Amino acid sequence: MTTANYLTHPRGIRSWLLTLDHKRIGIMYLVSTLAAFSLGGLFAMIVRTQLLSPNGAIFTVAKDYDHYNQMFTLHGAIMIFLVLIPGVPGALGNFVLPLMLGARDVAFPRLNLFSYYLYVSGALIVILSIILGAVDTGWTFYTPYSSDPDIGSRDAVSLMVFGIFILGFSSILTGMNFIVTIHKLRPSPPNGMTWFRMPLFLWSLYATAVIQILATPILGITLLLLIMERTLHVGIFSPRFGGDPILFQHFFWFYSHPAVYIMILPAMGIMSEVIPTFSRKPIFGYHFVAISSLAIAIIGFLVWGHHMFPNGQSTLLSTIFSFLTMCVAIPSAIKVWNWLATMYKGSISLKTPMCYALAFLFLFTLGGLSGIYLGSLSLNVHVHDTYFVVAHFHFVMFGGTLMGFLSGLHYWWPKMTGKLYNENPARLACALIFLGFNTTFLPQFLLGSHGMPRRSATYLPEFAPYHILSSLGAGIQLLGFILAAAVLIHSLFRGRQSPPNPWGAATLEWSCPSPPPHDNFSTPPLVGDPYDHANLVWISDQEGYRRSQEPEARSQKSQT
């Protein structure tokens, strides 16, 4: 392809760093989050290596256990605030959203770039806090552990918390941008994008953005208060100065529970794109999938108390929170059943994105079901703060969000880079990650139900087989990730040129060339049903799909 695309128009490092193009900002987010993912993965590997032996394989003496605490804190904080929250919306969302919508850019391109640099600054401050003295409070920063400067060495808490405060604003600005773009930049009728012609990925990004806007400011003020507590001792969270540590937990989870839906909803949106495309069937129950995203966003705000069942919450409050927690399972289950019904009697092709999607379905379902266990009051008291919880949230966050992210990455990779990767090694990587994941986290359910507490640097010898199995799984995952990265990087240099529509998807981003031109669409695209694959036919000499009906002339014009 000789025509200029967004990667080559214009050239030069400066044109990248100061770009207002949503596609380039998406790519920059992608590179940054993948770098952060590698760092977080490194800390995870240290944690799993330590747990190879009951007395610790790395930090063997008691005075070094603080370092173990630092490792899991950094793993958690980096994975959540630097990878899972900005990952799908920042990287894939930024790239895909205007293309799917048929718009030329997001509503506020400068704000978009600003939000990226806020992300980078926040990330650098977090990394600086690691260098200056790692935080060991756990990613939840519970007071008084985080607020009293005298307990241990927690000088870096303020710095890291400030970094996360900045990351929060980056997240808010991305959310604002998405909501305004979806409301105001849809191509206008008669051939335009109506709400219920929107691809479901956009619905889920919209629901995510609502949570980002309504929940993240609470995290902002909570972290600000924590910094104030540490510097001025204002007496709001620290019991030493008359404050209430439980209030911190309420504030923190009021953000951080909705935040898990910030992480999972975009991944669910990716499922709603990938599964219909590779089943060659329209999505089953479009309206239900769309509205269930909003339902999750709304109910997700009302369940934060289930993190605090044993923490002195009144029984009535706990009962209500438990009930609402069960309720949030309903829209999630609606989605899962609709995806299954989409696949039913479909013509399923097991391309790499679909493999990850199937992994998502399996893992997310297990994660979600174990969430029902945790949401029930009596069982929660038994497994609270054990490896059961660790396994549960890794199943939903890693098995859910990250599998969704990988699925989306492989799905849109040809669109982003214009290159096709090798299917078989990529499928093998997926299989390794899936196998490694289950080897790592299934034993942790058993560990937890047998009473192994989380965040412990050592353990009783009878837990050793499970822990060793778990660490072995982490090693398999590492191999899988290295292979996946190698496949994708290889495709950048040796990959075949991708056609505009390699998968036969009906959403708009596949109607422009791969990679897309600088301004996406020279003329507003004709918007049809996003899941109508019927008139897409395989063109064998292009190894891609084309529309057999009238929009064909338009797509041909934009290619030349």
Partner 1 sequence: MSTTQPHLASHFNSPQQQFDSGKLGIWLFLTTEILLFSGLFCAYAVYRSNHPDIFAFAHQYLNKWLGALNTLILISSSFTMAWSVRAAQLNQKNLCTTLLAITILCGSAFLSVKYIEYKNKWQEHLLPGPRYNPRELPPAEAEALDDQSRDRKGATWEGGAASTLPHGRSLTVAALIPPTETFRAPIGPAGLNPAWVDNDRSSRFSMSWLAPTPSLEPEPNNTHIFFGIYFLMTGLHAIHVLVGISLITWLLLRTTRGDFSPQYFAPIDFTALYWHIVDLIWIFLFPLLYLIGNT
Q: Name the residues that contact partner 1, by CB under 8 A.
A: 103-105, 107-109, 111, 172, 176-177, 179-181, 183-185, 188, 213-214, 216-218, 220-222, 224-225, 228, 232-236, 241-244, 247, 251, 519
Instruction: Decide whether 66 or 244 has the Cβ nearer to partner 1.
Output: 244
Nearest distance from residue 232's CB to partner 1, in Å? 5
Structure tokens at 483: 């292979």
Paired residues of 538 in beta bridges: 545
Instruction: Decide whether 398 or 521 has the Cβ nearer to partner 1.
Output: 521
Count, residues in the chain: 560
**Consecutive H or E run containing 539:** strand 536-539
CB 95 within 8 A of CB 88: no
Determine the Cα–Cα distance for residues 92 and 175; give it in Å rounded to an integer: 14
Instruction: Decide whether 234 or 431 has the Cβ nearer to partner 1.
Output: 234
Nearest distance from residue 107's CB to partner 1, in Å? 4
Question: Buried b / exposed e across 521-541, counting CB within 10 Å, b at 16+?
Answer: beeebbbbebbebeebeeeee
CB 245 within 8 A of CB 138: no
Nearest distance from residue 234's CB to partner 1, in Å? 3
Nearest distance from residue 80's CB to partner 1, in Å? 20
Instruction: Decide whether 181 or 444 has the Cβ nearer to partner 1.
Output: 181
Determine the Cα–Cα distance for residues 268 and 265; give it in Å rounded to an integer: 5
Instruction: Decide whether 104 or 280 has the Cβ nearer to partner 1.
Output: 104
Instruction: Decide whether 109 or 517 has the Cβ nearer to partner 1.
Output: 109
**Consecutive H or E run containing 137:** none
Instruction: Decide whether 163 or 220 has the Cβ nearer to partner 1.
Output: 220
Structure tokens at 320: 């209500």
Determine the Cα–Cα distance for residues 521 and 558; give it in Å rounded to an integer: 8
Determine the Cα–Cα distance for residues 245 and 247; give it in Å rounded to an integer: 5
Nearest distance from residue 172's CB to partner 1, in Å? 5
Nearest distance from residue 101's CB to partner 1, in Å? 11
Determine the Cα–Cα distance for residues 302 and 249; give it in Å rounded to an integer: 14
Nearest distance from residue 182's CB to partner 1, in Å? 10
Give the residue ranges of DSSP H helices in 344-376.
Answer: 352-375
Nearest distance from residue 479's CB to partner 1, in Å? 42
Nearest distance from residue 58's CB to partner 1, in Å? 39
Burial class for 126, CB neighbours closer than 10 Å (0-12, 13-18, 19+): buried
Instruction: Decide whether 214 or 333 has the Cβ nearer to partner 1.
Output: 214
Sign, CA dihedral 492-493-497-502, equals negative
Instruction: Decide whether 234 or 302 has the Cβ nearer to partner 1.
Output: 234
Quote the Cα angle for 244-248-251, to 5°: 130
Instruction: Decide whether 181 or 477 has the Cβ nearer to partner 1.
Output: 181
Q: Is 544 helix (H, G, I), strand (E, B) or coil?
A: strand
Paired residues of 546 in beta bridges: 537
> ω into residue 10 within 30 of 0, thus cis?
yes
Nearest distance from residue 376's CB to partner 1, in Å? 28
DSSP of 81-111, one letter per residue? IIIIHHIIIIIIIHHHHHHHHT-SS-S-HHH
365-to-298, 358, 393 alpha-carbon distances in Å: 21, 11, 12
**Consecutive H or E run containing 447:** helix 423-449
Instruction: Decide whether 199 or 220 has the Cβ nearer to partner 1.
Output: 220
Nearest distance from residue 508's CB to partner 1, in Å? 16
Nearest distance from residue 246's CB to partner 1, in Å? 10
Q: In whole angstroms, what separates CA 512 from the centre of its chain?
A: 26
Instruction: Decide whether 233 or 454 has the Cβ nearer to partner 1.
Output: 233
DSSP secondary-structure letter at 208?
H
539 φ/ψ angles, rounded to the nearest 5 degrees = -105, 110
Determine the Cα–Cα distance for residues 481 and 486; give it in Å rounded to an integer: 8
Determine the Cα–Cα distance for residues 263 and 83; give it in Å rounded to an integer: 9
Nearest distance from residue 188's CB to partner 1, in Å? 8
Instruction: Decide whether 140 or 292 has the Cβ nearer to partner 1.
Output: 140
